[in-house]
Structure 1
Amino acid sequence: MKFTGLYEFTEAGLEAFRQAFDGELEEEAIDLTNDAIARKITGTTAFTVSDWASADEMATAILGSIGSVNIKALLGRKGVWGWLSFVCRDVVYPEQKNGHRKLGEVWRWFPSEPEDYQKGQRHLIRMPVLLKSSFGDAAEHLLIGSPSVPGELREQLTSQQDMFHESFQRVARLLYLEPGKMKLRRGAGGKGAGSSRRLAQVRKQLDVTWDLFALSPDQLLEKLPKEFDRFRLKASESAPL
């Protein structure tokens, strides 16, 4: 699907979207050309829904269409993310063999209030856009999977607002992402030593002693315990932080 810009659902459109994904309304009943349902956001540019291979590609495409609009001005507008969820539904919430969409928890598709971080963090479109706009290539390890699957690393390494810091994410990217291959290193997920789950736990422990926001990626990397050595050694052979 191609659009002349990004749009946002009105309150009526957002309610119709919720009903459609809840199975109370046919998706075809939502008329995107009706101003009472959706309105173009002034200043945005052409947007095309594609079969993106990764959440990174999807976020890049959306950010490429914001035009003269500041992305921060859009993050709190639920109608924007509802509209994007609806028009991108075949890629992000694909139909299964039984004919039903793979929706999962409601907050994966219906945008929560922006100040509710725990719910907002789960949205499969807004969160990738937020990560990409905030961290650029430092978010690659969180966005390499299919748009429909957030992946364990994103869930582990964005579950707390304190993790939303570029130094922390650059360290995680260096530890777990195979440079140039856009795939995760073996053992990055799961519960084992040095895994992303352990990094999230160790971050809390380090935060008791250190102001992690004041540390550079190199300094933070040095403070990780020995269990991260197997990843740290590979990280030292990778591209600079």
Structure 2
Amino acid sequence: MEMMQMRAFNPAGIEQMHIWLGQVRENSSTPIPLELLEGAAFTKAVGRPIPAETFGQEAFKTKLTLAKAIDQAVITSELDEESLENDKGFWSWLTLKFARNFFGSKGQIGESALWVYEPGNWRKVYRQKMAPLWLAYRAHRDNPDCLKAVLGIPVNKTGEVFEQMMARKWVVLSPGIMTLVTKLYFDEEKSALKRGSGGKDAGAPRRLTTVLDQLGLTYDIEELGWEVLADMLPNDFKKFIPYA
């Protein structure tokens, strides 16, 4: 079985990663230097080796399958989970390792914050390619299906549900809210987001975040179950609620 040793960038590696990102913006076919990914001058080995197949093609089908693969890698490698939320070097390296899976159809890569992990401000870092996916998955290991509406999309896409929910860490970490979001906007039969879930009209995700903010002023909504939360929603959400 082929094994893979995960690594973490040191400051010099982070600097070189920024340089590579600049080169890719000029030429999307610019290769990733092997020395940057594996060289002792830029990286250090972290954790136990993992099966390379952990990050096979199926892992990059959706953000949710990728989150599951990352979780498997973290557990298998016996990394310290508590320290990972602030580990800039690890997440930046892991993202660069699999960078080609995240390129747009025309080779676009977007801003550096999508690639280089900058912990501290969730509203800035939630769109980083790998770290926030795992942090969300880790919070819901006992019921990852509640993340389908938010993470059940292609790895290089976002969309209104993802943007509105993932931008609020307290929303992402709440089992009740995440289950509510999936019940509202994910079609289990089609394994896809429901029609209208990407809009900005009545009952749409942007409206939901406004309602959740308002409810949060009165209730500890992070602790409530999805059914209780659903009963609190205004009538414009009824078209999305399964039992309405």
For the superposition of Structure 1 and Structure 2, which TM-score range results when normalised by the shorter chain?
0.7 to 0.9
Report 1:205-224 matches (<5 A): 205-224=214-233
2:89 to 79, 82, 85: 79
Residues 7, 38 of structure 2: 8 Å contact kept: no
CA shift, 1:53, in A, is: 1.6
Q: Which runs of 5+ in 2 are unaligned?
A: none
RMSD: 2.1
Pair 1:44–1:201, CA change in 2 (3 A): farther
Q: Which amino acid aligns with 1:86?
A: L
Q: Indicate how the Cα distance of structure 1 residues 124 and 33 shifts in structure 2: closer, same or farther if over 3 A, else same.
A: closer
Identify which of 85, 97, 109 aligns with 1:103.
109
| Letter of the 1:209 counterpart | T
Residue among 193, 196, 202 paired with 2:211? 202
Q: TM-score, normalised by structure 2?
A: 0.85
Q: In the aligned structure 1, how far is the partner of 2:32 from the partner of 2:170? A: 41
The alpha carbon displacement at 1:45 in A equals 2.0
Question: Structure 1 residue 228 and structure 2 residue 213: aligned?
Answer: no
Alpha-carbon shift at residue 187 of structure 1 (Å): 0.8
Could you tell me whether the CA contact under 8 Å between 1:171 and 1:217 is conserved in 2? yes
Match of 1:168 in 2: 177
- Name the counterpart of 2:145: 137
1:158 to 154, 166, 170: 166
**Are the aligned partners of 1:170 and 1:217 in contact in 2 as well (CA < 8 Å)?**
yes
In 1, the alpha carbon distance for the partners of 2:44 and 2:3 equals 12
SS at match of 2:217: helix
Amino acid aligned to 1:108: L
Structure with more helix by fraction:
2
Equivalents in 1 of 2:88, 2:42: separation in Å?
13
The answer to whether the 8 A contact 2:185-2:197 is kept is yes
Partners of 1:157 and 1:44 in 2: CA distance: 34
Shift of 1:33: 2.8
Counterpart residue identity of residue 212, structure 1: I
User: Which of 192, 195, 200 is residue 186 of structure 1 equivalent to?
Assistant: 195
**Matched positions, count:** 229
Query: Matches of 2:49 and 2:95 in 1, distance apart?
Result: 17
Residue 63 (structure 2) aligns with:
55
Compute the TM-score of the two structures, normalised by the length of structure 1: 0.86
Distance 1:224 1:169, change over 3 A: same
Counterpart CA distance in 2 for 1:47 and 1:77 is 22
SS at match of 2:8: strand
1:103-158 Cα deviation digits (max 9, x unpaired): 1122111111x221111112121111111221222111111111111222110112
Cα displacement (A) at 1:95: 6.3
CA contact (8 A) 1:47 1:61 kept: no
Relative distance call for 1:7 and 1:122 in structure 2 (3 A) is same
2:79 aligned counterpart, secondary structure: coil
2: CA distance between counterparts of 1:102 and 1:28? Answer: 16
